[in-house]
Structure 1
Amino acid sequence: MASQRSGSLEFRNARILDGSGQDGYDGHLLVADGRIQRIADEPIGANRVIDLDGAYLAPGFVDMHAHSDLRLLHTPGAEEKLTQGITTEVLGQDGVSVAPVPADLKSEWATRIQSLDGTVNGAWPWETVGEYLDELDAADPAVNAAYYAPHGNLRSLVAGFEDRELSEPEVQTVKAELQAAIDDGAFGMSKGMIYPPSSYGRDDELEALAESLAERDSFMVSHVWNETDYVVESIDRYIDICQRGGCHAHVSHLKVGGQQNWGKSEAVLGLFDEAEAADHRVSFDQYPYTAGSTMLTALLPPWARQGDSADILERLRDAETVTRIADDIDSPGEWENLARAAGTWDNILITRTASGTHQGETVAEIADERDLEPVEAMCELLVEEDLDVTMADFIMSEEDIERFLADERGTFCTDGIFGGKPHPRAIATFGRILERYVCDREVLSPERMAYKAAGRPADILGLEDRGYVKEGYVADLVVFELSDVSANATYEDPFQLTDGMDYVLVGGEIAVENGERTEIRNGSVLRSTDEWDGNARPFFDRKATERAPSE
């Protein structure tokens, strides 16, 4: 149920991480009317006083790449996010999501994105971004939510699921629909270059959309064409498109996949250095695990994913086509071949199926059970489950993960896909960063972590009064004792909530107390032009701001 405004609350003796990356400091903080009213060196006084005894107090964390688009409609309490310290989720990812949708393609879109974003009972009652956000608002979520306009959805308004070049009038229509989506509340545009129909976008089309985004000083967010053998070339291509169009480039779930490519993180960050030297804004998000997770259909060659769901299933039932799929997977090529990147079918773990069978088994184990070759077993499973299968693919190295974590241009994300036995990143990402990479390995300082988890995301999104512990800002806050944080979720048992977040406040109301969820749901659906107080995203770079607590 929704919260009622409580009286004033003072956190005393806090070690404040203000979200700027500067050194933490000791202080007392007063929350009232949903905002941080005062930060002082001496006790302030309030209706309720909580002595933190030196525990960290930080701005609430922002999950910069989430897949709760439909989950928040039926599970608005978001316990698995709040107990990580997450107070804001960013939806509409990978160029394929829930809005906008053509009326005649709602059913097909619902089928296509169910593995990523889940389902709801009945037909979607929305078509536009604004209508979807209204529906989300009515669900009364416990966390804040922001949304990107997905490129594939925009494209489907003029071309459905056809793999073809758009005409100039069609490109202009897509640009107009993008502008309408931003007016409705989208913060930018996402694209997913392995997910149809976003993957059908040509570079000229994407450059035109980058130009449209630049008119609002907005940004493009991309799952790039290849995160394995051609990861450097793909990111270079993406940054170039954004540079030509004049918009900020943000890379989704930055990674380097495939053992033969480990170490290329240095070259990727070199591309970011070059872009910044040319006065071009770049950023990225990342999760701290060596396995990715997505739809099992992502293992198929691009030609095998064309058309609607019925077309794909028809191919997978044909023995000759399955042989061709196996040959393509076994051969080097420029497409995103995640099976080759994994090296062995033992590294492809099934996390969810529509029927609930085979969850927690590898493709190699399923193939052995059925006395089939792995590709045959994969295709057979996809047919049985009507394509509704997700996986975890173990393709990354710790060295690359740590190099990206240390870079201040990055932000964090769960990329959380729920259902079945999901990748533990959905439940434990931020706890794992604090426990493993801040406390144990010291890859990040607590101050740098808070900046990347809250301040930098707020700057990227253009949130003027969130993401920092500052007087007058919305009181989205998290309190933790670093040594107590434990990310408990595992691949074998993912639904173990993170421990150690003593308090989490959303809009000034306590959503987590003593590590346990309260019944309060005080999240807000954030809409771009409202948050920007205008038609264009404001530019923020607040990491250098000096602290000025009240006397």
Structure 2
Amino acid sequence: MRADLVIRGADIEDGDQPSRAADVAVTDGVITAVAPSLPVDACGEEIDGSGLLLCPGFIDMHAHSALRVFHDPLQHPKLAQGFTTELICPDGLGPAPLRPAGATDRRRYLTALEGPGPDNWDWESLGDFLDAVADQRPATNIVTCVPHSAVRDVVMGGGNRQADSREIAAMCAEVRTALAAGARALSFGLIYAPGLYADTAELIALAEVAAEYGAPLVPHVRNEAAAVLDSINEFIRVSELTGAPLHVSHLKLVGSPDLLEDLVGLMVDATRRIDLSFDHYPYGAGSTLLSALLPPWAADGGPAAILRRVHDQGERLRMVRDMENGLTGWENLYGACGPEGITVTDAAAPRQDTVGRTLAEIALAENLDPAVAVLDLLRDTQLAVGMIDHYASETTVRTLFAAPRGMVGSDGIFNPHPHPRLYGTAPRVLGRYVRDGVVDRREAVARLTSRAADRLGLDDRGRIAEGKRADLVLLDPATFVDSATYEDPHRTPDGVRRVIVGGGTVIRDGEHTGLRAGVVTRTARSSAIPGY
């Protein structure tokens, strides 16, 4: 047989079956044979995999790379840890669909999370946006969600009100168009504007469209703190009523450790009634927009309205009061994490000097109340500030991670001082968590590969078998572990010998080759995976 590439004698692990030593042959970007001692007459490259672990390319189920690819299509932090496919536009947030008049506001709101993207946002539909992404020739494979907040903004703008029947119908049409254009899930971010203003009836209507395609609902639920059980139950009910699969984003518990047992029990019990899964990043801190610290009413009207409020003295006093005292039912991250537990990861001019400092440190240096410092940062940067928020113990994180039907999402954000998950998520799971017995190796690999591929209906990848895409990760299991920290986050893991995308080597011994072999999924899924 002829092959472009042969990997000899690696220990193959794809989460589906016991690991086994075998050779893998690749031709024209596809795995063509998997067997011990493959007879190969002509080969472009042969790699000795003895003593190494060979896995399918990892799938990042929560990636904030939608606009990053326009600035840096190489995606080195993701590929260097083995992620070859990224699911973009989670949390209901994304650059498309877009109404042209709302482009400035959307860019302003997303910049701290996704980056600004290209100078000109010349797309409107999600399909047009995916065409623009494909034109960048990204090094990773790109799969997208339909972002609910973007859909709501196109139809209703940024206002705090319930949708009427005509607007519900228009949103359903937008979701259906996006799913037909290749989106594989419907994401929600019910702490972000304007999605946070949706009622359950709106969620049900949109979920019915997702169910037609077997597309999972992927929510950042309304409250991941004291009201987390009610918030997840809202989506369990939506799934029960519509038949849409449910995939909870970054399952977590913000404070409230007394709810840990109940939360795990809720997830386990729900799997008996609905098609339920979740993703998780293995850290006790999150990272998002600094504006997420504001009370929900402050976002009414969209980013321009937020900016008006942070300039208005009366509104500032009201926001400070609510941040310090809380509101019924609101997940108050400022109150849960405290100023000393929140670090600025990115800030536009003229506040770049605050990057890497906590709110407590910034407030002390400026002789301000920390809540006032938040408003000043948002005012001075036109909302372009990102943060890390420490909310849970390692014990809580590991207990949730071990729950059944889990997958892995980095939730990595490309900030100047990023959360270490941008570089360390996969090696922390497959290195540290496996070694510590949180999950076994087969389960860890399944979460990173085959289970995620099945969830997104990607039947061309996620396993090492004939006919699958040659997206592969070859690593040294003895040294593959995370090294990125909160203090020093820009650290790629050791032990990555090769990362292969579409049959081509993208990472060699931790270094990027410059190859941009990723593809953008544009085919619609038509049904759920049977027996998931």
The answer to whether the 8 Å contact 1:460/1:540 transfers is no
Instruction: Report the 3-state secondary structure (helix = DSSP H, G, I; strand = E; otherwise coil) of the residue aligned with 2:418.
Output: coil
1:112-133, Cα deviation, whole Å (9 max, x unpaired): 1111111124220111111111
Instruction: Report the 3-state secondary structure (helix = DSSP H, G, I; strand = E; otherwise coil) of the residue aligned with 2:411.
Output: coil
Q: Within the alignment, does 1:368 sit opposite 2:359 as a pair? A: no
What is the one-letter code of the residue matched to 1:18?
D
Task: Measure, in 1, the Cα distance between the counterparts of 2:156 and 2:364.
Answer: 42
- The Cα shift of 1:430 comes to 0.8
Give 1:293's aligned residue. Answer: 287
Q: List aligned pairs for 1:14-93, cutoff 5 A.
A: 14-20=10-16, 22-45=17-40, 46-47=42-43, 48-93=45-90
Task: Measure, in 1, the Cα distance between the counterparts of 2:260 and 2:133.
Answer: 37
Task: Measure, in 1, the Cα distance between the counterparts of 2:354 and 2:478.
Answer: 37
Q: How many residues align?
A: 526
Give 2:527's aligned residue. Answer: 536
Match among 96, 101, 110 for residue 98 of structure 2: 101
1:227-255, Cα deviation, whole Å (9 max, x unpaired): 11111111111211221122111111111
The answer to whether the 8 Å contact 1:346/1:362 transfers is yes
Q: List aligned pairs for 1:331-480, cutoff 5 A.
A: 331-332=325-326, 333-342=328-337, 344-355=338-349, 356-439=352-435, 441-480=436-475
Match among 269, 275, 286 for residue 274 of structure 1: 269
Q: Within the alignment, does 1:311 sit opposite 2:305 as a pair? A: yes
The answer to whether the 8 Å contact 1:502/1:513 transfers is yes
What is the one-letter code of the residue matched to 1:484?
T
Match among 135, 139, 143 for residue 140 of structure 2: 143
What is the one-letter code of the residue matched to 1:527?
R
Instruction: Report the 3-state secondary structure (helix = DSSP H, G, I; strand = E; otherwise coil) of the residue aligned with 2:102.
Output: helix
1:359-399, Cα deviation, whole Å (9 max, x unpaired): 01010011111111111111111111111111101001212
Q: Within the alignment, does 1:128 sit opposite 2:122 as a pair? A: no
Give 1:116's aligned residue. Answer: 113
Greater shift, 406-415 or 175-184, is seen at: 406-415
The answer to whether the 8 Å contact 1:322/1:375 transfers is no
Give 1:511's aligned residue. Answer: 506
Identity of aligned residues (%): 38
Give 1:238's aligned residue. Answer: 235
The answer to whether the 8 Å contact 1:10/1:31 transfers is yes
Task: Measure, in 2, the Cα distance between the counterparts of 1:346 and 1:442.
Answer: 32
What is the one-letter code of the residue matched to 1:490?
T
Match among 315, 321, 324 for residue 318 of structure 2: 324
The answer to whether the 8 Å contact 2:22/2:36 transfers is yes
Q: Which runs of 5+ in 2 are unaligned?
A: none
1:427-451, Cα deviation, whole Å (9 max, x unpaired): 2111222232113x12122211110
What is the one-letter code of the residue matched to 1:463?
L
- The Cα shift of 1:167 comes to 1.2
Q: Within the alignment, does 1:174 sit opposite 2:171 as a pair? A: yes
Q: Within the alignment, does 1:196 sit opposite 2:227 as a pair? A: no
Give 1:547's aligned residue. Answer: none
Task: Measure, in 2, the Cα distance between the counterparts of 1:146 and 1:79.
Answer: 18
The answer to whether the 8 Å contact 2:344/2:388 transfers is yes
1:137-166, Cα deviation, whole Å (9 max, x unpaired): 111111100001111111122211111111
- The Cα shift of 1:15 comes to 0.5
Give 1:545's aligned residue. Answer: none
What is the one-letter code of the residue matched to 2:323?
I
Task: Measure, in 1, the Cα distance between the counterparts of 2:501 and 2:530.
Answer: 24
Instruction: Report the 3-state secondary structure (helix = DSSP H, G, I; strand = E; otherwise coil) of the residue aligned with 1:89.
Output: strand
What is the one-letter code of the residue matched to 2:322?
D
The answer to whether the 8 Å contact 1:148/1:186 transfers is yes
The answer to whether the 8 Å contact 1:462/1:540 transfers is no
Task: Measure, in 1, the Cα distance between the counterparts of 2:133 and 2:116.
Answer: 14
- The Cα shift of 1:525 comes to 0.4
Task: Measure, in 2, the Cα distance between the counterparts of 1:308 and 1:135.
Answer: 25
Instruction: Report the 3-state secondary structure (helix = DSSP H, G, I; strand = E; otherwise coil) of the residue aligned with 2:449.
Output: helix
Task: Measure, in 2, the Cα distance between the counterparts of 1:400 and 1:25.
Answer: 34
- The Cα shift of 1:43 comes to 3.5
Give 1:210's aligned residue. Answer: 207
1:384-418, Cα deviation, whole Å (9 max, x unpaired): 11111111010012122112222341111111111
What is the one-letter code of the residue matched to 1:346?
E
The answer to whether the 8 Å contact 2:453/2:461 transfers is yes
Task: Measure, in 2, the Cα distance between the counterparts of 1:218 and 1:450.
Answer: 23
Match among 242, 246, 250 for residue 249 of structure 1: 246
The answer to whether the 8 Å contact 2:268/2:403 transfers is no
What is the one-letter code of the residue matched to 1:391?
M
Task: Measure, in 1, the Cα distance between the counterparts of 2:87 and 2:194.
Answer: 21
- The Cα shift of 1:10 comes to 1.1
Task: Measure, in 1, the Cα distance between the counterparts of 2:343 and 2:217.
Answer: 31
Change (3 A) 1:471 1:540: farther
TM-score (norm 1): 0.93
Task: Measure, in 2, the Cα distance between the counterparts of 1:516 and 1:540.
Answer: 40
- The Cα shift of 1:331 comes to 2.4
Task: Measure, in 1, the Cα distance between the counterparts of 2:509 and 2:400.
Answer: 32
Q: List aligned pairs for 1:483-494, cutoff 5 A.
A: 483-494=478-489
- The Cα shift of 1:419 comes to 2.2
Instruction: Report the 3-state secondary structure (helix = DSSP H, G, I; strand = E; otherwise coil) of the residue aligned with 2:354.
Output: coil
The answer to whether the 8 Å contact 1:263/1:399 transfers is no
Task: Measure, in 1, the Cα distance between the counterparts of 2:523 and 2:279.
Answer: 20
- The Cα shift of 1:16 comes to 0.6
Task: Measure, in 2, the Cα distance between the counterparts of 1:461 and 1:308.
Answer: 31
- The Cα shift of 1:214 comes to 1.2
Task: Measure, in 2, the Cα distance between the counterparts of 1:34 and 1:290.
Answer: 38
Task: Measure, in 1, the Cα distance between the counterparts of 2:372 and 2:512.
Answer: 45
Q: Which runs of 5+ in 1 are unaligned?
A: 1-5, 542-551
